[in-house]
Structure 1
Amino acid sequence: MIGLWDTTGNEVVKALAAERRSAGGVASGMALTLIVVADEKHVREAEAAATIAAAAHPCRLLVVVRSDVERDRDRLDAEIVVGGRLGPCEAVVMRMYGRLALHAESVVMPLLVPDVPVVTWWHGEPPDEIATDFLGVVADRRITDAAQAANPIEALRLRAADYAPGDTDLSWTRITLWRTLVAGAFDTVQAQITEATLVAPRSDPTAALMSGWLTARLGIRPVWQEADQFQRMRSVELRSADGDQLVLTREDSTAIFQRTGQNDRQLPLVRRPLGEELAEELRRLDADQIYAEALAAMADTPGLQHRPDRRVHIWKDPATAHRAEAGISTHATTNKSGAGTSYNLSRGGGA
């Protein structure tokens, strides 16, 4: 491990190259570059999750921690780990202070592995518009987590408004097992499904996406029964035209599957750690059209999967916007929203 304090981007690049040479075979065969955007309070949690994901997908891990953007003096502290505590990957943890935090790309871009996909994951609340964050625009895949937002359902609606092919959300990943079990139940269903009911807290983003998925797949809008006594989705109930009823109910780490005229069955429904959820999303680097259809149905925003797969970077200075709201004079060349020059970038299908 190499620690560089109050350093520069060039020094980080040189130190990483030196550490790669000394590590030898540990630093070969990178499948992708994973950029993790986290705040200081959750950086260890983000590192732990990324370590699990890196064990399944050899990558260069770039952790970006941005703090105190209005600080007078810029500073960059970096920690370089190759084949160490962060698993079998090349890792650079960068803490950026002052105005440098608004230009993280100046340090990150030279560290991207050439000719491999780039994935950006926000461990925390992402920007309302991903185009205002260069680290999102440069990525082929962008992973958010609506559950981290103060209002998770509204956060999903923002994701729909801002959607471009390559986007996904970990709330979608968390219902993979639910969707597998529900889809498996249709192997023996002959009649058309006419009604569906979800039992879940009103603020549960996984239930919102499950509702969108059922709407997109079956053409019916599920009834949502509020169950605020539970912290997450409790059950899914389907009724067919011939009167059959199928119910899938969560019980700790299992699901009880009930069907009219059949004995109840217990099926696995384990809650996975964050790192395994992240690893699942790294298995595919193309656009997830099923997620796009589910998100579109959930947010009543049709045609998401047909949007262009190109993002244009829009520079937005939050410090300037804050001063404008406070009525402080500024000479910055930005408009009232803080947005200025846009940059058209091309990197794979996600830029």
Structure 2
Amino acid sequence: MDLEERRTALDGAMDARGYWPERSPWLRETVAALPRDGFAPDRLWQWNGRAYVAVDRSTDPGGWADALYAGVDEPAVTQVTGGLASSSISAPGVVVDMLDSLLPEPGHRVWDIGGGQGWNAALAAWRAGPGRVVSTEIDPDLAGFARRRLAAAGLQVEVVTGNATTAVFRERFDRVIATYARERVPWTWVEATAPGGRIVYPWGRLGHLALTVADDGRSASGWVQGMAQFMADRTAPAPPTAGWAGYSAVRGDGPAAAERRTDRDLAPLEGDWGLRFALRVAVPDAMITTGRDEEGVNAWIHDGRSSWASFSAVGDGTTVLHQGGRRRIGDELMTAWTAWEDLGRPEPYDYGVTVTPDRQWVWLHTPDSEPRWPIHEAAAAASR
């Protein structure tokens, strides 16, 4: 299958999944005009279960194309640093969803944050027009690559090498879109956005939002738009290590400080994203890993610093909770789970975020309603 066939297959898969948004028909046309292979480096990286391995276009063109067009929900890793993925071309479905949430119009001034290889900026520029998009990228090599590919595509996009958190511009933007995860929105982003403008960004480990800046410019507020996961902010503290490795590092080999039995069925933790999102809101630093055996679903939780919990299925519908560290993070999750049920099991799209100069919080149903959950800057991950 050549690249043209893969582009056609991707278009059809997006259509079959309902991923082409009706209110933004320009997106389908633009993706066809500016396919992702025009912004992909000649070396991509794939996870083999143990480590990332290189896939080079020169020696394995089919494998390279397979990695780039793996599916509508699959990103293509373009950079690995210290054994971890540090940049990617985002999944096509996510790119389209976020640009649809952004609602750019011809003539809008757009700030693309975390430009990477330039594909997102290219799509925005096709819509906004020549000279209307500024893309910021902290990695000078990636910024240089994006400049070359954008120029080759005939697009007039300004690519700035630098830290978007501290960037200052003479003119405000109508639209701001970030492609890496932030726990808190830098206030400089709000200041850079005109009143009535929109800011679309990935929130922490799960979900992306669209905020509208108030008429007085002193706040921004908006709803959850999707459930994608993104690369972390390179300038923020390192996030906790996920999975068994992260749990083991925090757990250590000492005895548990507390043990009790609970009749909570943990099966929803495997696939109920409404629950997972609610727990992410209420206990934002909890890293949750699940696994199933003949007794049922088990879970391992840690906060990346000092506290941990394990839920071990017994086989009779109950689980045994062990926990230790400075806090009882297992109890916190159970309390948050019960609170979510008491609230009527709201979906992720029932939540929103408000940002002001001195505080940020998550709300449910309306910006002025209760309960509210404060958003704090993520703490650096550390072992016990």
Question: Which structure has more RCO (C-alpha within 8 Å, separation ≥ 6)?
Answer: 1
TM-score (norm 1): 0.30
